[in-house]
Chains A and B, each alone.
Chain A
Amino acid sequence: MAIADRIPAYVEKLPFGSVLLTRTDELLGLARSSSLWYLLYGLACCAIELMATGASRYDFDRLGMMFRATPRQVDLMIVAGTVTLKMAPRLKRIYEQMAEPRYVIAMGGCASNGGPFYYDSYSVLKGVDKIIPVDVYIPGCAPRPEALLEGCLTLMEKIKKERKLSQHHEGTGDSEPS
């Protein structure tokens, strides 16, 4: 059974099929990390590499990643390019329109900390993490598709390790026995 190979699970074979016993967090982590639909937030030259990664040679689809043009259908925002101060409030607003759980990848130097525009620029935001939380930073100017893929795989590992459900129950005192 493919799913039992990928997460810790106890499988009991029964005459009419089988029963799988596992942790909800593990199952949610696997599901979330395996279908990361991402928002096309291309702002500069990094967007070219993002598009190349989405196209057939590097093929984002094989990771279950599809681009969407609306924040309401996405799990992940890949900020690909230079964020200006004029763009910053729009970017924050679009991030807020994404449904939770939501993730952000800062692709390239500009999105990470301003990059080549850190000095001597009045109009560039010095890193997208000034306005929204960032999960993974990808260095490079622009990062090659391999680097972007590496960043996405890192994010997937991060999502798989999340224990949001059990942490939530512990936080409310409604804890499950550990």
Chain B
Amino acid sequence: MKVPEILNRLKKEKPEICASISPECALSIELDGDSLLAAAAFLRDDEELSFDFLNCLFAVDCVDHLEVLYILHSYKLNHEVTLRVKLDRDSPEVESLSSLYQGADWHEREAFDLFGVTFIHHPDLRRILMPDDWKGYPMRRDYVHENLIRRPESS
């Protein structure tokens, strides 16, 4: 099933969910953070969609806001969709998908570790790559660290 059809089905069956095709990428559906969990549960459990696999989950720093992207795949029907959630940069919070997809656990810990996104109701939200006592979130664009030396501009 193509992405617009997936969106139409989602809107038809779950009219309360606020979703649209992302202006940045026609293959992704932009969602409101509050409706993410309900939308993902529908996408997973609906017979005609059957997104049974969370392929990937990652965060992006868009300078004025953060985004979390979820790539869902269906082994059963062999189609794919990307979900995008825009988050506030100062207090990025979104519901955890680990109750729906077990694999979300470590992906969400990585996004927390490197971007500082807080996943609500995550079973074990702590750093996964950086040392436990690390300060700050290194993949953010405004990150500074004593060990981080910027490459000089070439003349």
Contacts and interface: CB of A to CB of B under 8 A. Distances in A.
Contacts of A122: 138, 143, 145, 147-148
A123 B143 CA distance: 12
Interface string A134-157: 000000000000000000000000
Residue in A119, A122, A123 with the greatest tally of chain B CB atoms within 10 Å: A122
Given A123-B130, A123-B138, A85 B151 contact: no
A120 B149 contact: yes
Contacts of A126: 147, 149
Residue in A118, A119, A123 with the greatest tally of chain B CB atoms within 10 Å: A123
Contacts of B148: 120-122
A86 interface: yes
Interface string B106-131: 00000000000000000000000011
Interface residues of B, number: 10
Interface residues of A, number: 11
B2 interface: no
A66 B123 CA distance: 46
Nearest to A86: B131
B150 interface: yes
B41 to A, nearest CB: 36
Contacts, number: 26
B25 to A, nearest CB: 27
Contacts of A118: 149
B143 to A, nearest CB: 7
A124 B149 CA distance: 11
Interface in A113-129: 118-126
Given A85-B131, A86-B130, A119 B150 contact: yes
A105 to B, nearest CB: 24
A121 B143 CA distance: 11
Given A122-B138, A123-B130, A123-B138, A85 B150 contact: no
A1 B24 CA distance: 80
Nearest to B132: A86
Nearest to B146: A122
Interface string A76-97: 0000000001100000000000
Contacts of B145: 122
Nearest 5 CB-CB pairings of A with B: A119-B151, A122-B148, A122-B145, A122-B138, A86-B131
Given A119-B149, A120-B151, 4 more contacts: A118-B149, A124-B147, A125-B147, A126-B147
26 contacts: A85-B131, A85-B147, A86-B130, A86-B131, A118-B149, A119-B149, A119-B150, A119-B151, A120-B148, A120-B149, A120-B150, A120-B151, A121-B147, A121-B148, A122-B138, A122-B143, A122-B145, A122-B147, A122-B148, A123-B130, A123-B138, A123-B147, A124-B147, A125-B147, A126-B147, A126-B149
